[in-house]
Structure 1
């Protein structure tokens, strides 16, 4: 990731890194100066400029040998602060800029000063603040800069949850804030311990001297658990469903698509850049096991939701779990983390989820706006009345399912290759099961949306087509990510793409679709509009005993989820996970 030999001097294009942070910040200051009447115009002027800067960085990284650097004040670390961007930074900067642009286009009709000046002003300011904080995370070169950026991201994201001012959204925002601050305290404690040992928090300098001392292992465990709390990895998802489901559509797209990626990206920097030799094979397996729990719990609960937005929110919990399957697959024969195909697959999955899930939340927002509800069982006829919104949801869902040539399909194939290469077949089984679960809740929604309605359905409000077209473009991007030439930025072999369209690749997709359809029938408790037909009745008689077993299993998962989202259970989980991770690292070192 970050080559240490060339990371301590400013490079030719280094000023672009400063601009990536300064431009959104300048937009915030200008908006405060001009007032709420012009905040939307300022934000919409900043958005294309920020996108151009992200594109320039994307082009500059390969030309700079895979790394561009800027030393603030021309002071080298450890006295100064360095901004750095490698291939991972470049693609995350570009992804963030694209998602921000689409959300801005979508939000132009929802957040207008003429309709609600206060809410509109808050949204556009917070949108730019989230962008600036994320860019700082992606280019930050030391652990304290990342901490500052992470806190700025939290304080910008929390108000997005409660923009409408309702009591339940205020409560969700408070839960998010308190739990995120708890994660921040753990991260900061770990960073302070590392600084006490080495006198620097610069990632390149620290990677040269870090060793398996007891204090260092404790620091790494604290920082890791703090970041997991902010990422909302199971079972530390106390805040995620209510926060993502209660926010406005544009805010939910930002929260689910981008905000949780900030803390995950810092975790990648910590484990792969700073301490690649310290995490044990058992610790990596532990993270992937938590990811597996997220996939199962999040998917099962998603299949039982009455509201579409809550389904997509719990889908986010499940997809976050996917990101952690890369860790054990990145451990080499001597127990060190390698920056190889497993890491590339994790980043591809991150990008695919960011684009697809943001598009799906925007589509759900359009459906809610035009129908006045988002009840899954009440979506009959929606595909005829709201074709663009349903198409956007479908395309985003197909991208998440891993339909070729999506980024998720590319990432899954890379992870499966690594699982077979390293002999970790159990993670290949998890990957296939996760694909089936994803297919299940996507097919469930489409089955209701494509079914005929019992009575005439008419939109209560007509949205502008540009909103849906922008969201559809973002979903299409996710579906075509596998066609992007990633080699200048990520360590990907050239033989993966042909395998996606091979007979084996199509067989895997068919297995995922058939398995997902079966899970959707067995696990969801809702009656489909076509259930009265003779074919459905015959199939229902055959599957009814199995459905009852699955329904009871779903009840148990629902109860477990409700318990884990209580403060006492979340606090105990945080403590136990921290202890378990520390023990695993101590045992290996």
Structure 2
């Protein structure tokens, strides 16, 4: 069964990318939605198959040792495949209407969108360093093109800054890969993990990989490229970038750390990564509070929320807290993907309505567009970590991991980060409930645009009630060779 599903996840988006270049979206409307439906169904089918069979190991195709170029499936991989399908489908549905309403050019959006989806699935399913690199580069090139969509000078500047940062990150990662291959003679993640258990890699390798992937993930203070790119891109693009793209490099980071880094890096590097994450939470939250444009508030919020992900490293340093930390970070990643996609899409609707990107232009919009504002608010509940959202459960797990490990300083960060989130998000609501003088001149976006962020925001809240399902599948191991 998996031998049929997995190639579909990789080759279907590539085929649709080529077709979308040849066929205009307006003429090939149903062809595009057929591809999205096919990808969503295959993603759900893969997740259900792995969940039902209990995390059996699957390695498909590729080249055998010493290269070990392969695809692999475990609970973590299929969960990210499923959430990618949810967010990408929602962003595509929104973009199909939004780009016309915002006078955007959808012609180049669709091929880049499909290449991005192919790259994301390639990263989630990669079982070796080579496929991870190819997937990351495909994601980067597609994401940079999506940021530049429309060709405005500001978008081109942001896209170039993003490209240069991503290339620097790729250089660090590639140097680490070269050293690993030279030292161990294989690119397979499972093979490297087995060899590293006997002889840990040099610290230089871990530092190079960490620096390169931290650049791509926009970890503070390497985040300078993210706010301009996310803030100026079209709203469906911003949703894809924040919810999925920056998660891909963190996913690779986590895979390498668990397989190679824990034995070689030591306590001090784990704490240093946590400290940089803390810097992102505090600096990103403070800068979000000071922004005058709505999407820049949401973009700097991404810098802050990314910081929480790096608590994985200090809190998972062995002992009983490791599993709590992994569960908390993975659940935060998933809830953030849903909430931030909802928030960017809702922000796009609000900007369309008021005709201005500024926060102070939202005065009176609470009466005119309450549905989109409510979607923004539900997403904010999860980002602030309030019950009963997925964000609350994630931070509760991280709080428990901090207490049980005796690392009380991360408790202070979780509290301070939540308060900062409340300040910059409630600032948006304060502006929207003010009344402006004169006659309202709002534009009402198409109704379909308001439904999509609402569904995503409700899913972010609902994740708090059903957290045990994704967590149970995420824990399914990748061990012991088998087949389908």
Taking structure 1 as the reference length, the TM-score comes to 0.77
Cα shift readout 1:157-192 (whole Å, capped 9, x = no counterpart):
001111121111101100100110011011001000
Cα shift readout 1:531-573 (whole Å, capped 9, x = no counterpart):
xxxxxxxxxxxxxxxxxxxxxxxxxxxxxxxxxxxxxxxxxxx
CA 1:281/1:122 → structure 2, altered by over 3 Å: closer, same or farther?
A: same
Q: Determine if contact 2:239/2:344 at 8 Å carries over to the other structure.
A: yes
CA 1:257/1:438 → structure 2, altered by over 3 Å: closer, same or farther?
A: same
Cα shift readout 1:69-99 (whole Å, capped 9, x = no counterpart):
24215x5443552211211112111111101
Larger mean CA deviation between 26-35 and 296-305 belongs to 26-35
Q: What is the DSSP-based 3-state SS (H/G/I as helix, E as strand, rest coil) of the residue aligned with 1:72?
A: strand
CA 1:229/1:424 → structure 2, altered by over 3 Å: closer, same or farther?
A: same
1:322 aligns with 2:308: yes
Measured in 1, the distance between the counterparts of 2:37 and 2:381 equals 28
1:78 aligns with 2:66: yes
Q: Which residue of 1 aligns with 2:408?
A: 425
Measured in 2, the distance between the counterparts of 1:14 and 1:276 equals 33
Measured in 1, the distance between the counterparts of 2:267 and 2:439 equals 58
| Deviation (angstroms), 1:388 | 1.4
Measured in 1, the distance between the counterparts of 2:67 and 2:301 equals 44
Cα shift readout 1:274-318 (whole Å, capped 9, x = no counterpart):
333222111111111001101111111111111111111111111
CA 1:36/1:63 → structure 2, altered by over 3 Å: closer, same or farther?
A: closer
Larger mean CA deviation between 138-147 and 40-49 belongs to 40-49
After the TM superposition, which segments of 4 or more aligned residues of structure 1 sit over 6 Å from their partners? 212-215
Equivalent runs, 1:51-130 vs 2, <5 Å = 51-72=40-61, 75-111=63-99, 119-130=105-116
Measured in 2, the distance between the counterparts of 1:215 and 1:105 equals 45
Measured in 1, the distance between the counterparts of 2:26 and 2:440 equals 37
RMSD after superposition: 2.1
Measured in 2, the distance between the counterparts of 1:68 and 1:42 equals 34
Q: Determine if contact 2:67/2:187 at 8 Å carries over to the other structure.
A: no
| Deviation (angstroms), 1:120 | 1.4
CA 1:312/1:383 → structure 2, altered by over 3 Å: closer, same or farther?
A: same
> Of 351, 370, 389, which aligns to 2:353?
370
| Deviation (angstroms), 1:491 | 4.7
Q: Determine if contact 1:40/1:124 at 8 Å carries over to the other structure.
A: no
Measured in 2, the distance between the counterparts of 1:356 and 1:410 equals 14
Measured in 2, the distance between the counterparts of 1:234 and 1:372 equals 32
Equivalent runs, 1:184-583 vs 2, <5 Å = 184-210=170-196, 216-333=202-319, 340-459=323-442, 461-484=443-466, 485-491=469-475
Q: Determine if contact 1:362/1:471 at 8 Å carries over to the other structure.
A: yes
Measured in 2, the distance between the counterparts of 1:111 and 1:69 equals 40
Cα shift readout 1:1-47 (whole Å, capped 9, x = no counterpart):
xxxxxxxxxxx524322211111112112223435554544332211
1:27 aligns with 2:16: yes
CA 1:247/1:256 → structure 2, altered by over 3 Å: closer, same or farther?
A: same
Measured in 1, the distance between the counterparts of 2:65 and 2:219 equals 33
Cα shift readout 1:445-466 (whole Å, capped 9, x = no counterpart):
111112333333231x321111
| Deviation (angstroms), 1:145 | 0.8
Measured in 2, the distance between the counterparts of 1:188 and 1:40 equals 39
Q: Determine if contact 2:36/2:89 at 8 Å carries over to the other structure.
A: yes
Question: Which structure has the bigger radius of gyration?
Answer: 1
Measured in 2, the distance between the counterparts of 1:217 and 1:277 equals 10
Structure 2: unaligned runs, 5 residues or longer: 477-484
| Deviation (angstroms), 1:212 | 8.5
Q: Determine if contact 1:61/1:68 at 8 Å carries over to the other structure.
A: no
Cα shift readout 1:168-226 (whole Å, capped 9, x = no counterpart):
11011001001100110110010000000111010001100116879632112101100
Q: Determine if contact 1:54/1:97 at 8 Å carries over to the other structure.
A: yes
Measured in 2, the distance between the counterparts of 1:276 and 1:17 equals 30
| Deviation (angstroms), 1:375 | 1.7
Measured in 1, the distance between the counterparts of 2:41 and 2:456 equals 17
Structure 1: unaligned runs, 5 residues or longer: 1-11, 493-589
Q: Determine if contact 1:230/1:260 at 8 Å carries over to the other structure.
A: yes
Q: What is the DSSP-based 3-state SS (H/G/I as helix, E as strand, rest coil) of the residue aligned with 1:83?
A: strand
Larger mean CA deviation between 25-34 and 54-63 belongs to 25-34
Measured in 2, the distance between the counterparts of 1:456 and 1:489 equals 53
Q: Determine if contact 1:187/1:226 at 8 Å carries over to the other structure.
A: yes
Taking structure 2 as the reference length, the TM-score comes to 0.93
Cα shift readout 1:339-396 (whole Å, capped 9, x = no counterpart):
6121111111111111111111111111111210132122221110111111111111
For CA contacts below 8 A with separation 6 or more, give which structure has more relative contact order: 2
Measured in 2, the distance between the counterparts of 1:61 and 1:273 equals 21
Measured in 2, the distance between the counterparts of 1:412 and 1:294 equals 16
Q: Which residue of 1 aligns with 2:479?
A: none
Q: Determine if contact 1:72/1:80 at 8 Å carries over to the other structure.
A: no
Q: What is the DSSP-based 3-state SS (H/G/I as helix, E as strand, rest coil) of the residue aligned with 2:58?
A: strand
Measured in 2, the distance between the counterparts of 1:121 and 1:442 equals 34
Q: Which residue of 1 aligns with 2:482?
A: none
Q: What is the DSSP-based 3-state SS (H/G/I as helix, E as strand, rest coil) of the residue aligned with 2:71?
A: strand
Cα shift readout 1:216-243 (whole Å, capped 9, x = no counterpart):
3211210110000011110001211111
| Deviation (angstroms), 1:273 | 2.6
